[in-house]
Amino acid sequence: MRLSAMGDILHALPAVTALREAHPEWRIGWAVEPQWKPLLAAESATERGPAMPLADRVHVIPARRWARAPLSAKTLREVRQARRELREEQYDACVDLQGAVRSAVIAKWARAKRLIGEDNPREWVARWFFSERVMTRGVHVIEQAIEVMNAVAGEVLPVREPLLPVDPAAECEADALGAPFVLIHPGAGWGAKRWPTDRYAAVARALHDLGYGVVVNAGPGEESLADEVAAQSGGYAMPLRSSISVLIAMTRRAALAIGGDTGPLHLASALGRPVVGIYGPTDPARNGPFGGRFEVLRHPESKRDHSRHAAPEAGLLTITPDAVIQAATRLLRGEP
Asked whether the beta carbons of 283 and 28 are under 8 A apart, the reply is no
Q: What ranges make up the beta strands (E) of 36-144?
A: 57-60, 93-95, 114-118, 132-134
Neighbouring-strand partners of residue 195: none
Q: Return the SS3 of 124.
A: helix
Asked whether the beta carbons of 313 and 280 are under 8 A apart, the reply is yes
How far apart (Å, rounded) are the C-alpha atoms in residues 327 and 305? 25
Which domains can be identified in the chain, with CATH numbers? 6-153 (3.40.50.2000), 168-332 (3.40.50.2000)
From first to last of its 336 residues, the chain has per-residue pLDDT tens of 999 999 999 999 999 999 999 999 999 999 999 999 999 999 989 999 999 999 999 999 999 999 999 999 999 999 999 999 999 999 999 999 999 999 999 999 999 999 999 999 999 999 999 999 999 999 999 999 999 999 999 999 999 999 999 999 999 999 988 779 999 999 998 999 999 999 999 999 999 999 999 999 988 899 999 999 999 999 999 999 999 999 999 999 999 999 999 999 999 999 999 999 999 999 999 999 999 999 999 999 999 999 999 999 999 999 999 999 999 999 999 997
How far apart (Å, rounded) are the C-alpha atoms in residues 223 and 215? 13
Name the pTM for this structure.
0.96
The verdict on whether omega for the bond into residue 5 sits within 30 degrees of 0, i.e. cis, is: yes
Number of Cβ within 10 Å of residue 25's Cβ equals 4
How far apart (Å, rounded) are the C-alpha atoms in residues 13 and 5? 12
How far apart (Å, rounded) are the C-alpha atoms in residues 95 and 328? 38
How far apart (Å, rounded) are the C-alpha atoms in residues 112 and 190? 36
Half-sphere exposure of 217 (CA within 13 A, CB side): 30
Pick from 3, 12, 109, 116: nearest CA to 61: 3
